[in-house]
């Protein structure tokens, strides 16, 4: 087990905020980071355009609309057309971002995403807003908890699930500058900010936010904060030192980081606000099975639909809270013994 000094090495290297002090943690919606990043991407490159399906305020494209009105298009509620129009603009040399709720884009427009975007390797970027059960009162029809699965299976598609609003801004800018079809997934409700402007970010490069060699907790999206809190509590309560990996790029996933986690920790817990079937955790399991099989436990939605409720209430109800992560880590630790 690492010493108290060693445990903090990863956090210092990543320039994280002190996530152990709950009173000082700021909570900001990840969608805000998308809006800020899109404006900056438009500042850097006038070929960046934004197309929205009548949800500019909700998806945070509204700021881009005001900052770059000549680069903004509103098409109304027509998600399949959204993809088709973006494909045409990409063919003409533009870098289109298209935005709607994730349940409708890529959910409703999946065939167009597959054929127009991916088959043609079109430089279109999808902003999938309001993903996960943390949409809250909107209920099952609006809670995209299958979107990682349907996107990661498409050839050529990049899939990125940043952990907080600061990282969402960085991911938006990075994807705007990287050629190829991409899906950026983010949430509606406020969530903890754990990274800073100095925290490095690179598409396809996972990040160790906490050191430990007993169990590796591999997380993506806003549940990364829950994973960090769970790791600190496990250290105090059980003496189990968990490595916490921010696995923000689901595709292409950082196979080296996953293999190292398996070899050095001997057990893995995956954490995502998504169905456990075919999501981020399933890709982790595929990598582990190929390189170094170890016990794995999966934290996520267990083959159910969502329902209406408060975001934090739903996270707990569907077994994605801190207590559930700790239970999974204890189980994984026991299995490797």
Kindly report, residue by residue over 240-252, the tens digit of the pLDDT: 999 999 999 999 9
Same domain, 17 and 90: no
- 91-134: per-residue pLDDT in tens? 999 999 999 999 999 999 999 999 999 999 999 999 999 999 99
**Residue 100 contacts residue 267 (beta carbons within 8 Å):** no
DSSP string, 138-174: G-GGG-BSSHHHHHHTSTT-EEE--SSHHHHHHHHHH
Mean pLDDT score of the chain: 96
Domain endpoint, select from 192, 208, 243 = 192
Task: Give φ, ψ of 117 to 5 degrees.
Answer: -80, -65
Same domain, 278 and 219: yes
Instruction: Over range 143-162, report the average pLDDT.
Output: 98
pTM, 2 dp: 0.96
Same domain, 204 and 299: yes
Same domain, 127 and 235: no
Same domain, 47 and 116: yes
Same domain, 120 and 228: no
DSSP string, 184-218: EE--SSEEE----TTS---TT--EEEE--SSEEEE
Domain endpoint, select from 155, 170, 192 = 192
79 is catalytic: yes
Same domain, 65 and 111: yes
**Distances from the Cα of 245 to the Cαs of 101, 170, 263, 332, in angstroms?**
27, 18, 14, 16
Q: What pLDDT score was predicted for residue 13?
A: 86
The DSSP 8-state label assigned to residue 128 in this structure reads: E
Q: What is the CATH classification number for the domain harbouring 225?
A: 3.40.50.920
Name the H helices within the chain: 4-7, 9-13, 30-44, 56-59, 62-67, 79-91, 110-112, 147-152, 165-176, 224-238, 255-265, 280-291, 311-317, 322-336
Same domain, 21 and 32: no
Residue 137, pLDDT > 80, answer yes
Q: What is the CATH classification number for the domain harbouring 182?
A: 3.40.50.970
Question: How many structural domains is the chain composed of?
Answer: 2
**Residue 151 contacts residue 138 (beta carbons within 8 Å):** no
| Domain encompassing residue 212 | 4-25+198-336
Which residue, chain included where needed, has tokens 């399906």? 53
Options 79, 241, 272, 297, the catalytic residue: 79
Domain endpoint, select from 139, 172, 192 = 192
Same domain, 242 and 328: yes
- 3-16: per-residue pLDDT in tens? 444 567 888 888 99
Q: What pLDDT score was predicted for residue 2?
A: 44
Same domain, 86 and 167: yes
Instruction: Over range 157-186, report the average pLDDT.
Output: 98
**Residue 179 contacts residue 120 (beta carbons within 8 Å):** no
Q: Which helix (H) or strand (E) holds 100?
A: strand 95-101
Same domain, 226 and 112: no
Instruction: Over range 23-27, report the average pLDDT.
Output: 94
Same domain, 11 and 36: no
């Amino acid at each position: 087990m690492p010493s108290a000094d060693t445990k903090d090495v990863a956090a210092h290297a990543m320039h994280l905020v002190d996530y152990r002090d709950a009173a000082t943690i700021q909570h900001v919606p990840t969608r805000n980071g998308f809006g800020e990043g899109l404006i900056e991407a438009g500042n850097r490159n006038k070929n960046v355009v934004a197309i929205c399906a009548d949800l500019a305020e909700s998806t945070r494209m509204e700021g881009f609309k005001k900052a770059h009105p000549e680069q903004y298009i509103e098409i109304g509620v027509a998600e399949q057309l959204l993809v088709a129009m973006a494909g045409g603009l990409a063919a003409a040399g533009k870098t289109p971002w298209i935005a709607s709720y994730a349940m409708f884009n890529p959910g409703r427009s999946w065939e167009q995403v597959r054929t127009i975007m991916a088959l043609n390797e079109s430089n279109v970027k999808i902003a999938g807003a309001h993903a996960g059960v943390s949409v809250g009162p909107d209920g099952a029809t609006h809670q995209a908890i299958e979107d990682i699965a349907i996107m990661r299976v498409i050839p050529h598609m990049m899939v990125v699930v940043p952990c907080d609003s600061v990282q969402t801004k960085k991911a938006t800018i990075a994807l705007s500058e990287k050629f190829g079809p991409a899906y950026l997934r983010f949430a509606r409700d406020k969530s903890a900010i754990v990274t800073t402007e100095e925290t490095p970010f690179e598409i396809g490069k996972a990040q160790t936010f906490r050191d430990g060699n007993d169990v590796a907790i591999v997380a993506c999206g806003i549940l990364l904060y829950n994973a960090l809190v769970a790791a600190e509590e496990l250290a105090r309560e059980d003496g189990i030192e968990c490595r916490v990996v921010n696995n923000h790029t689901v595709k292409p996933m950082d196979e080296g980081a996953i293999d190292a986690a398996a070899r050095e920790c001997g057990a893995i817990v995956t954490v995502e606000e998504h169905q456990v079937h075919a999501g981020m955790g399933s890709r982790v399991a595929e990598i582990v099975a190929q390189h170094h099989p170890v016990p794995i436990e999966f934290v996520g939605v267990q083959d159910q639909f969502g329902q209406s409720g408060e975001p934090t209430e739903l996270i707990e109800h569907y077994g994605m809270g801190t207590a559930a992560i700790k239970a999974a880590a204890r189980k994984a630790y026991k299995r490797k013994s």
